Amino acid sequence: MTAVDLSTSLAGVTLPNPVMTAAGCAAAGRELEPFLDVAALGGVVTRSVTLDPRAGWPPPRMVETASGVLSGTGLQGPGIGGFLATELPWLVQRQARAVVSIAGESLAEFAELARRVGNSPGVTAVEVNLGWPEDAATGRDPYQASKVVNVVRRDVPRGIPVLAKLAPVVHSVVDVTRAVVKAGADGVVLAHTVPGMAIDRRTLRPALGGVTGGLSGPAVHALAVRCVWEVHQALPDVCVVGVGGVRTGYDALELLLAGASAVQVGTMIFHDPSSPARIVAELEAELSQRNLTRVADVVGRAHRPEGELS
């Protein structure tokens, strides 16, 4: 087996490997402790933190479909005060690389979240949730998205990357990426869940308490690969994190080949809480079997004529 250097660069920050959790799938990481070492992952992306505590949407909040999972939590959480008091310190104590997802309902809220998170010890990066709620236009409109990123980047200290998590539909994801990078984003996360809905077979009523939710899992993997491919092709110098339906090491490799520097594992965690660690090992094996020695050599390789891999 060929030795592999799994380290990767996330907008200037070196990670030991490119596999992270996805926002909302493991709270702030504490739930994963019985199953894996959070410090061994490339990063732990927290649930999206809001300014004030939120009770979230009424249950049920998750329903399995034939091709993925529909979820709608309404961003339940302790608010920024509770997060900074208990959840972030837990990650820091375990030497995990904390990528803090933030979600606001106004520019003022985003600015306050950015200031408080950015000035807290132990934050590796800030992920700006531009796709919540699912019917919001912020993450799909270049102008609106750039306004949010501008205030976040202004209040997050330099040296801490700001990543914009974008929606994959309506406007060209390249146009939105170009706008948020111009506004100060150090990279983008592609892509957010896709709005969806399901009807309960028993009640013949909406299956989710919030009626609509975000579709994630296998159904959106090909869409995520396309988004990553398009952005890397148009803007090859922009840092991209790929997320959507990652279940195996090859799924992760596929996103790296399309142009991602890192990937996030989300829905799979509900089925297999140890999956992020397993996917790290599987990715290493996928690279070793192909005599590829560095993640850096793989990023975007599918765009090059010599990109074909056995």
pLDDT digits (tens, 9 = 90+) for 140-153: 789 999 999 999 99
55: pLDDT confidence band, cut at 50, 70 and 90?
very high
Residue 27 has pLDDT above 90, yes or no: no
* pLDDT for the residue numbered 42: 98
* pLDDT for the residue numbered 163: 98
How far apart CA 197 and CA 211 sit, in angstroms, is 7
Mean pLDDT of all residues in the chain? 94
Q: Is 122 marked as binding a ligand?
A: no
* pLDDT for the residue numbered 134: 52
* pLDDT for the residue numbered 164: 97
Q: Strands of 62-64's sheet, edge to edge? A: 62-64, 69-71, 213-216, 194-196
Q: Of 3, 1, 4, whose CA–CA distance to 296 is shortest?
A: 4
Measured between its terminal Cα atoms, the distance across the chain in Å is 16
Q: Is the pTM of this model over 0.85?
A: yes
State the pairing for strand pair 213-216/194-196. Answer: antiparallel
Q: Is 266 marked as binding a ligand?
A: yes
Q: 234 is written with which tokens?
A: 């148009």
Q: Is 245 marked as binding a ligand?
A: yes
Q: Of 231, 198, 282, whose CA–CA distance to 17 is shortest?
A: 282
Q: Report, as an integer, the average pLDDT of 159-187.
A: 92
Burial 160-185 (b: 16+ CB within 10 A, else e): bbbbbbbbbeebebbebbbbbbebbb
Q: Is 217 marked as binding a ligand?
A: yes
Q: Is 187 marked as binding a ligand?
A: no
How far apart CA 45 and CA 25 sit, in angstroms, is 9
What single letter denotes the amino acid at residue 166?
Answer: L
Q: How do residues 231-272 score in pLDDT, each as one tens digit?
A: 999 999 999 999 999 999 999 999 999 999 999 999 999 999
The domain segmentation of the chain, as residue ranges, is 8-57+73-203+217-303
How far apart CA 240 and CA 189 sit, in angstroms, is 6
Q: Of 307, 256, 189, whose CA–CA distance to 4 is shortest?
A: 256
CB atoms inside a 10 Å sphere around CB 13: 17
**Beta carbons of 117 and 79 less than 8 angstroms apart:** no
77-86, 125-134, 182-191: segment of lowest average pLDDT: 125-134
Give the alpha-carbon dihedral of 62, 149, 235, 226, to 10 degrees: 10
How far apart CA 172 and CA 142 sit, in angstroms, is 9
Ramachandran quadrant class, 16 (left: phi over 0; alpha: psi -120 to 50; beta: rest): alpha
Q: Is 29 marked as binding a ligand?
A: no
**Beta carbons of 160 and 96 less than 8 angstroms apart:** no
Fold of 8-57+73-203+217-303: TIM Barrel (3.20.20)
Q: Is 213 marked as binding a ligand?
A: no
Percentage of the chain exceeding pLDDT 70: 95
* pLDDT for the residue numbered 140: 72
Cα distances (angstroms) measured from residue 106 to each of 132, 264, 308: 12, 27, 45
* pLDDT for the residue numbered 190: 97
